[in-house]
């Protein structure tokens, strides 16, 4: 996508191919800075601290982590060790495990001397495939939004949660891909952006990237969505996902489940936009089997922002001595999901195995 007229992906190899470069998402929307990552430990740290985040981007970054490691040593023990280090950085988004396993199995089949070069090629292929999948699911989502607009005969109000835009992927985004496609096709629309406490990915990242693209949007407190749905001000909710079970349970940023409940109660269609590497074919019960990342108390207790005089600041919002809990994701059961938007088309949550017969 474009920032001030320049096309960016969220990750790319440096011109000397000794490193990768990323946009540091911890600084947005207040500063746009590119960081160079030149070792596995820097890659692991960038994923843990959420300089890069969003399920597809975490997977792509980990793939480049394997490539950087292979430049130092292509031996089998190192390959296994690096895989373990990277998979341990964040437990919920299955794209991370998917990307590391794909890199490992492709590289293990090659002589060690060929692994470094092959790893860079494979990581680049993972990135290109992510862009293609998101573009394709955006086109399927566009058809759905177009039909909805023709039926309603007025501008669409779409609600989204967290950041599932191009910043969360290599390009295009997942939940925002249909929105960008519809906006570019001239369909009048407006996006309700959940702020998404505690880290505010909606207010900081989704609002920023929609603004860069010129898409009309309004940031709302997380608790406002149900009220807006009761008053007919949301036509459809579209979210991304960190992991979807083979049976269509959708694990996404904490608070997604509450939005799905409110959508169900108000007959608002609720969609998850998901490239296929986000589907975990090995599990069928999301609430039981998806590991939910528990993040630090400080993310709840402290907020980052800009003071009136323009300086960046971090402020505490809790009384000393109070504890905070911070589960980072929740699971929306398939029964609350209207449809899953994938690169192959849109299907009901229970139809994923039909849509992807070879993977199931
Ligand atoms: O903790 P984050 O910011 O990595 O969580 C991101 C989300 O929950 C996104 O909605 C999800 O990864 C889908 S992104 C295409």
Judged by DSSP in three states, 244 sits in strand
114 shares a domain with 232? no
pLDDT tens digit at each of 360 positions of the chain = 888 888 999 999 999 989 999 999 999 999 999 999 999 999 999 999 999 999 999 999 999 999 999 999 989 999 999 999 999 999 999 999 999 999 999 999 999 999 999 999 999 999 999 999 999 999 999 999 999 999 999 999 999 999 999 999 999 999 999 999 999 999 999 999 999 999 999 999 999 999 999 999 999 999 999 999 999 999 999 999 999 999 999 999 999 999 999 999 999 999 999 999 999 999 999 999 999 999 999 999 999 999 999 999 999 999 999 999 999 999 999 999 999 999 999 999 999 999 999 876
Cα separation values, 40 from 64, 84, 220, 245, Å: 9, 11, 38, 29
Angstrom distance (rounded) from CA 129 to CA 241? 17
Residues with catalytic roles: 242
69 shares a domain with 169? no
Q: Structure tokens of 92? A: 């919920």
Closest Cα partner for 140 from 357, 358, 355?
355
| Domains contained in the chain, number | 2
Q: Domain end: 129, 159, 178, which one? A: 129
The reply to whether 326 falls in a domain is: yes
What is the 243 CA–ligand 1 centroid distance (Å)? 10
188 shares a domain with 40? no
242 shares a domain with 102? no
What is the 74 CA–ligand 1 centroid distance (Å)? 32
Strand-strand pairing, 156-160 and 236-239:
parallel
The per-residue b/e assignment along 6-24, b for 16 or more CB within 10 angstroms, e otherwise, is: eebbbbbbeeeeebbbbbb
Measuring from atom 5 of ligand 1, which residue has the nearest CA? 54
For 165, the domain range is 139-355
Tracing tokens 């293609």 back to the chain, one arrives at 132
Measuring from atom 14 of ligand 1, which residue has the nearest CA? 164
308 shares a domain with 258? yes
306 shares a domain with 243? yes
The reply to whether 100 falls in a domain is: yes
Strand-strand pairing, 6-7 and 11-13:
unpaired
DSSP string, 27-68: STTT---EEEE-SHHHHHHHHHTTSS-SHHHHHHHHHHHHHH
The reply to whether 134 falls in a domain is: no
For residue 293, give the ligand 1 atom closest to its CA: 1
103 shares a domain with 187? no
116 shares a domain with 177? no
111 shares a domain with 154? no
What is the 252 CA–ligand 1 centroid distance (Å)? 7
For residue 165, give the ligand 1 atom closest to its CA: 15
Eight-class DSSP state of 211: H
What is the 176 CA–ligand 1 centroid distance (Å)? 12
147 shares a domain with 123? no
98 shares a domain with 145? no
Closest Cα partner for 175 from 150, 218, 212, 145?
145
Tracing tokens 């920023």 back to the chain, one arrives at 208
209 shares a domain with 155? yes
List the CATH number of the domain containing 119. Answer: 1.20.120.420
Q: What element of type H or E holds 193?
A: strand 189-194
The reply to whether 162 falls in a domain is: yes
The reply to whether 159 falls in a domain is: yes
Q: Domain end: 129, 154, 189, which one? A: 129
Tracing tokens 């001397």 back to the chain, one arrives at 113
Angle between helical axes of 112-152 and 176-184 (0-180°, round to 10): 60
Closest Cα partner for 133 from 103, 171, 182, 84?
171
Q: Domain end: 129, 149, 177, which one? A: 129
For residue 329, give the ligand 1 atom closest to its CA: 8
Measuring from atom 8 of ligand 1, which residue has the nearest CA? 253
Instruction: Choose the residue to mutate in 242, 244, 340 for probing ligand 1, maximizing ligand atoms within 8 Å of C-beta.
Output: 242
Name, in order, each residue with C-beta under 8 angstroms of 18's C-beta and a sequence gap of 6 or more: 38, 71
Q: Structure tokens of 230? A: 């009761």
């Amino acid at each position: 996508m474009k920032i001030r007229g320049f096309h960016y992906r969220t990750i790319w190899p440096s011109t000397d191919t000794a490193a990768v470069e990323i946009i540091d998402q911890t600084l947005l929307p207040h500063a746009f800075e590119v960081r160079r990552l030149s070792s596995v430990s820097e890659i692991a740290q960038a994923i843990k601290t959420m300089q890069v985040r969003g399920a597809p981007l975490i997977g792509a970054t980990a793939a480049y982590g394997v490539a950087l490691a292979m430049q130092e040593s292509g031996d089998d023990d190192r390959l296994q060790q690096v895989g373990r280090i990277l998979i341990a950085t964040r437990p919920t988004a299955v794209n991370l495990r998917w990307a590391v396993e794909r890199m490992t199995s492709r590289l293990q089949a090659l002589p060690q001397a060929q692994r470094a070069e092959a790893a860079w090629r494979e990581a680049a292929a993972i990135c290109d495939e992510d862009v293609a999948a998101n573009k394709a699911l955006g086109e399927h989502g566009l058809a759905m939004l177009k039909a909805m607009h023709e039926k309603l005969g007025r501008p669409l109000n779409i609600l989204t949660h967290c950041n599932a835009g191009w910043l969360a992927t290599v390009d295009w985004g997942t939940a925002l891909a249909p929105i960008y496609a519809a906006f570019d096709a001239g369909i009048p629309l407006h996006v309700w952006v959940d702020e998404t406490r505690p880290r505010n990915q909606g207010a900081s990242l989704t609002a920023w990237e929609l603004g860069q693209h010129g898409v009309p949007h309004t940031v709302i407190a997380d608790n406002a969505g149900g009220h807006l749905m009761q008053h007919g001000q949301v036509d459809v909710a579209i979210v991304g996902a960190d992991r979807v079970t083979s049976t269509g349970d959708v694990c996404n940023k904490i608070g997604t489940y509450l939005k799905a409940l409110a959508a169900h109660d108000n007959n608002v269609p609720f969609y998850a936009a998901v490239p296929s590497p986000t589907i975990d074919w090995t599990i069928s019960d999301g609430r039981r089997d998806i590991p939910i990342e528990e993040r630090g108390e400080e993310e709840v207790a402290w907020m980052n922002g800009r003071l009136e005089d323009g300086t960046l600041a971090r402020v505490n919002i809790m009384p000393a001595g109070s504890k905070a809990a911070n589960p980072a994701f929740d699971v929306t059961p398939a029964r609350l999901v209207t449809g899953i938007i994938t690169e192959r088309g849109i299907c009901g949550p229970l139809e994923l195995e039909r849509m992807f017969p070879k993977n199931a």
